[in-house]
Structure 1
Amino acid sequence: MKKLIMTGTITLLLGTILAGCSAGKDNSAESAVASVQSSITMPWIATKNTTRINTSDPVEAAVLVSRTLWTAQTKSNRPSSVVLTSVDNWQIAAVSTDLIHHPSNGPVLFFTKDGVPDVTMAELQRLKPMGADSNDGIQAVIVGPSPEGIDKQVSSLNLKVDTIEGDDPAAVAAAIDDYYAKVSGELPQSVIIGSVDRPEYTLPAVNWIAHMPEPLLYAGKNELPAATAEALKKRGGSAAIYILGPKSIISADVEEQLKEYGSVTRISGDDPYENAIAFAKFKDTANGFGWGITTPGHNLSLLTTDSAMLAIAAAPFSHLGKHAPLVFMKEEGLPDSLMNYTMELQPKFKDSPAEGPYNHAWLTGDTATISEAAQSVIDDMLEISSASGENPHSGH
């Protein structure tokens, strides 16, 4: 195993590969980070329109996403608090992404059944969360079931820790809804209802709830859990409810039950690829809910449909920087629906490509998850082109 050296320098290799990171000025943190053993020799791989988080290990991916977005060099780029949750439970990890949003303004990092991995402990040291002012200075929130002693492990870094306990995904989702309302001082009226059984249809929601205050609550195909119903009741019958997924995933009967708590809108596609694109395109003009991305000059987060924990690790790409909705691709390239969507978003210039706007995409996963050829295709599809159809570089 080679060391992943986290220094204050980012080195550009071959014009496309970014390596290195910022460890701050604490010598003990530098030592801890530099000692972490990792197989990642090239943490980031970039092309002109894409950047790859070059690991398919969710624990490592969460750390690399954190390092990308929170440089932790000044107060303005340090998180207020960090979410810690199990890498073995996608349902609970997914709803925990609601706590990425302000006032927490921090990443989701993972622990395992054995505790907090060294690479995650080192990242907590590097980040030095400042504490959320509206949450009594809490610096880390542990969500869901955790191994014995994990709170002591995190507290050993002199972090103030809070917990949201429970092992039932619907109940934990409702508890996070309550927790966020308490910390932020408001209860969002809009709510996403996702499938507790089918991550490939539910996970596009995580990028929205990381970006905005609305929560993700769960339903089964033919069942509305009591915890979800109780959370909806708190909206006083005026909730704006958005079901994510087709009737084959969350039934028409559940949709009827939801109407008791407010207005109900279904956002769906026939397969996970079309479903994610439908969510990226959707906008409710009445209240501003939804990405509404249908024009050039945007960012996308791309993963494969079987990468649930990587999708959760990458959720902060919708919170900072070039805010990105999640859409799904295949290991070897783009399905037709995504190819058509990127064609809709492709920027066109009249006189010069310097006019912009520009598109970008984050890819999460190594080349065994998303091939080099697929990254190249995505890069091509996002490239600005001439509105006339001529060579975009003619005359340059």
Structure 2
Amino acid sequence: MRPVLPRPRRTPTALLAAVAVTATLAGCGGDDDTGSPFKTPKGESKAAASLGIPVVATRNTTRTATGDPVDAAAAVARAAFPGGSDASRAKAVAIVDKGDWRVALAASALVAPPVSAPLLFSDGTSLPDPTEEAVEALDPSGGTGGEGAQALRIGDVGRPSGLRTENVAGEGPYELARAIDRYTTQARGRTADRVLVVSADRPEFAIPAAAWLAKSGDPVAFVTSKGIPAATARQLAAHPKATLYVLGPSAVVRPAVTKQLRRYGTVKRMGGVDPVQNAVGFARYKDGAFGWNVNRPGHGFTLARSTDTLGAITLAPLAASGLHGPLLLTDSANALPEAVAGYLLDVKPGYYPDDPALDATQAGGYNRAWITGDVSAIDEGQQAQLDALLEIAPVDTSPNAGETADSATRSDRESRGGPGPTTTGQAGAATPGTTTAAPTPRP
């Protein structure tokens, strides 16, 4: 139970005056006379709209404002690996056919070190212009000493000109997932002792895996409603006594399938009953060194529509850089689901305005999110709601604050590193300006 702390309602306003954005982050359309790809919302200045404000950026969010996964992948790759120094330069790029989300999901593991290869999309055997432009801008180093592959061709895809390439071959998505697993095993010099298992039939339950694969480099294996494909069985056999983490409820990966999986290792299930709760469940999950364990402030998040399969996968490099963090899903164009809003309230950062040692500049633990999709997929109102839930908020320390709260619950939260956030309304209907939160208790 969250304590009820009164807080005055505020009207959301444009908080950013100017942000430099590139054309690769744009794509939501518009018809004003500024030449901008962004429409000018009623009441907003054309100067702000021409920079994409508040669609491309708010104080706590950034967006790849496009519905085209080819453009989104190119933009994210350049954002995650901006260059300018060896530390921020991609070692390689992974070229994946946009025609099969399962291959793209498996290739997310190539983002993690030591491969460090962001995903770019091929259209069959040809490379779209945004992909070619991204390859040129990324200028992959080829790894230590500049002698390794600069481009990994995953399956039968286009070949970037002028780069050293290596082929990761396989017949179909399950063989390609196995081939990617073998490649990362060789690159890391060890066999993974854990495998993430997802449904090949239900992408909306599988896509949260992309963010974790990009961060951890763990392999992913696909199962179907009928059982374990032959290629997947061979892949799992190469990981003796591994822990197999099944992402999704029993209605998606059925008990009959998990029974078969036990031949290959210990099986543990995580997630939730629907795509939104499944993503939140993974974000909270921890089992030893596996799992995000994002249950306190100070993290990044990514957000996509649950129906935008490739768009969600393109965000993977941003889960493994910057603030690092899990993928969350929304099932609506205009409102955050209750499960997401409630979760973000639970990890909302706070500060003590009356204590210079723990004010907003000292308390830390900031949250931030990256969104993919144009405003028809996730509108400006939902982005503003997300922004407010991420914003660091003052802790109400007045004598009567939280007097209706369950003191045992509050004390338990404090003992675990700080009380959770509070709201004057239902979590699913959180309104910008109506929340307060607390960081780690005062020492």
Scaled by the length of structure 1, the TM-score of the pair is: 0.85
Q: CA deviation at 1:136?
A: 5.7
1:279 is aligned to 2:282: yes
Where do residues 250-269 of structure 1 align in structure 2 (5 Å cutoff)? 250-269=253-272
Structure 1 SS opposite 2:262: helix
1:353 is aligned to 2:360: yes
Q: Which one of the candidate residues 334, 337, 349 is aligned to 1:335? A: 337
Q: CA deviation at 1:60?
A: 0.7
Q: Which runs of 5+ in 1 are unaligned?
A: 1-12, 23-37
Q: Which one of the candidate residues 184, 194, 213 is aligned to 1:190? A: 194
Larger mean CA deviation between 271-280 and 50-59 belongs to 50-59
Q: Is the 8 A contact 1:240 1:263 kept in 2?
A: yes
Where do residues 150-189 of structure 1 align in structure 2 (5 Å cutoff)? 150-151=158-159, 154=160, 156=161, 158-189=162-193
1:208 is aligned to 2:208: no
Partner residue, 1:243: 246
Q: Is the 8 A contact 1:134 1:183 kept in 2?
A: no
Structure 1 residues 183, 135: CA separation in 2 closer, same or farther (over 3 Å shift)?
farther
Q: Is the 8 A contact 1:244 1:268 kept in 2?
A: yes
What is the CA–CA distance in structure 2 between the aligned matches of 1:381 and 1:16, rounded to whole Å?
22
Partner residue, 1:377: 385
Where do residues 107-186 of structure 1 align in structure 2 (5 Å cutoff)? 107-113=118-124, 115-133=126-144, 137-146=148-157, 150-151=158-159, 154=160, 156=161, 158-186=162-190
Q: Is the 8 A contact 1:87 1:110 kept in 2?
A: yes
Structure 1 residues 14, 114: CA separation in 2 closer, same or farther (over 3 Å shift)?
farther
Q: Is the 8 A contact 2:115 2:184 kept in 1?
A: no
Larger mean CA deviation between 330-339 and 38-47 belongs to 38-47
Q: Per-residue displacement from partner, 1:300-320 (whole Å, max 9, x unpaired)?
A: 100000111111111101111
What is the CA–CA distance in structure 2 between the aligned matches of 1:74 and 1:220, rounded to whole Å?
43
1:230 is aligned to 2:231: no
Q: CA deviation at 1:114?
A: 5.9
The amino acid across from 2:90 in the alignment is P
Q: Is the 8 A contact 2:16 2:58 kept in 1?
A: no
What is the CA–CA distance in structure 2 between the aligned matches of 1:248 and 1:222, rounded to whole Å?
13
What is the CA–CA distance in structure 1 between the aligned matches of 2:253 and 2:51, rounded to whole Å?
41
Scaled by the length of structure 2, the TM-score of the pair is: 0.76
The amino acid across from 1:274 in the alignment is Q
1:72 is aligned to 2:80: no
1:312 is aligned to 2:322: no
- Which protein has greater RCO, CA pairs closer than 8 Å, 6+ apart? 2
Structure 1 SS opposite 2:294: coil
Q: Per-residue displacement from partner, 1:250-269 (whole Å, max 9, x unpaired)?
A: 11011111111111100121
Q: Is the 8 A contact 2:18 2:51 kept in 1?
A: no
1:47 is aligned to 2:55: no
The amino acid across from 1:226 in the alignment is A
Structure 1 SS opposite 2:20: strand
Q: Per-residue displacement from partner, 1:202-240 (whole Å, max 9, x unpaired)?
A: 01001001000211110002311121111211222x101
Structure 1 residues 14, 320: CA separation in 2 closer, same or farther (over 3 Å shift)?
closer
The amino acid across from 2:341 in the alignment is M
> Where do 4+ consecutive residues of structure 1 move more than 3 Å?
38-44, 133-136, 389-393
CA RMSD of aligned residues (A): 2.3
1:217 is aligned to 2:228: no
Q: Is the 8 A contact 2:305 2:329 kept in 1?
A: yes
The amino acid across from 1:244 in the alignment is L
Q: CA deviation at 1:358?
A: 1.1
What is the CA–CA distance in structure 2 between the aligned matches of 1:373 and 1:96, rounded to whole Å?
33
Structure 2 SS opposite 1:343: helix
Q: Is the 8 A contact 1:50 1:360 kept in 2?
A: yes
Q: CA deviation at 1:18?
A: 3.1
Larger mean CA deviation between 82-91 and 164-173 belongs to 164-173
Larger mean CA deviation between 113-122 and 77-86 belongs to 113-122
Q: CA deviation at 1:47?
A: 0.8
Q: Is the 8 A contact 1:346 1:381 kept in 2?
A: yes
Q: Is the 8 A contact 2:299 2:366 kept in 1?
A: yes
What is the CA–CA distance in structure 1 between the aligned matches of 2:208 and 2:265, rounded to whole Å?
22
Partner residue, 1:35: none
What is the CA–CA distance in structure 1 between the aligned matches of 2:367 and 2:385, rounded to whole Å?
14
Q: Percent identity?
A: 33
Where do residues 55-70 of structure 1 align in structure 2 (5 Å cutoff)? 55-70=66-81
What is the CA–CA distance in structure 1 between the aligned matches of 2:146 and 2:107, rounded to whole Å?
16
The amino acid across from 1:385 in the alignment is A
Query: Greater Rg, structure 1 or structure 2?
Result: 2
1:324 is aligned to 2:332: no
